[in-house]
Structure 1
Amino acid sequence: MPTPRFLTLDDVAEILNVSWSQAYALVRRKELLAIQIGGRGQWRVEVDELERFIQQKYAEARAGTVPEEPATPESTAAAGAEQRA
């Protein structure tokens, strides 16, 4: 059986080990190119596009351009406690 050309967002989420909504957010932000087929929620990502996305993320990591994680309430509270100490 030939390798499929397209992946569903469920497939992408499984490969990236993220939730479906996180995979969909990548598509919405146009970080990951996808096409909509048929009705609502029917997105497809080419295998080559997913590989390009992964390689781009590795290139960003190597270049040190990975954005900092957004502040969480816990990290903000801990940073404030350190500054007061």
Structure 2
Amino acid sequence: MDHISPESIGRFLTVADASEILNVSVDEVRELIQSAELPAISVGSPGRWRIERRVLEDYIEQKYEETRRMSLWREANAASIQDISEGPKHRR
């Protein structure tokens, strides 16, 4: 599969589809499913996972939000460390 567009796929994605969209390996997608980080359903024979397109889009949005929050936390944490390292200002 060269390129996956929302118009070319149905409601459910295969693990291979999801790995291409996320630009990670099939094994990494399976790990996300097994850890329940990425919700999926087992269809047919054992190990045949399907990820709802909407669920994958929600997962991507959550990762963006997580990244944004971590960035804000690091900025706040760095500012606090800088404030502490400067120490209290003494008056003479």
Q: What is the TM-score of this pair, normalised by structure 2?
A: 0.66
User: Quick one: which amino acid aligns to residue 12 of structure 2?
Assistant: F
Q: State how many pairs are aligned.
A: 65
Q: Distance in 1 between matches of 2:17 and 2:32?
A: 14
Q: Percent of aligned positions with the same letter in both sequences?
A: 45
Give the structure with higher Rg (CA).
Answer: 2
User: Quick one: which amino acid aligns to residue 36 of structure 2?
Assistant: K
Q: Which runs of 4+ in 1 moved over 3 A?
A: none
Q: Which residue does 1:32 correspond to in 2? A: 38
Summarize the alignment of residues 4-83 of structure 1 with structure 2, pairs less than 5 Å apart: 4-64=10-70
Flag structure 2 segments of 5+ consecutive residues without an equivalent. Answer: 1-6, 72-92
Q: Secondary structure, in 3 states, of the residue corresponding to 2:36?
A: coil
Q: Secondary structure, in 3 states, of the residue corresponding to 1:31?
A: coil
Flag structure 1 segments of 5+ consecutive residues without an equivalent. Answer: 66-85
User: Quick one: which amino acid aligns to residue 11 of structure 1?
Assistant: D
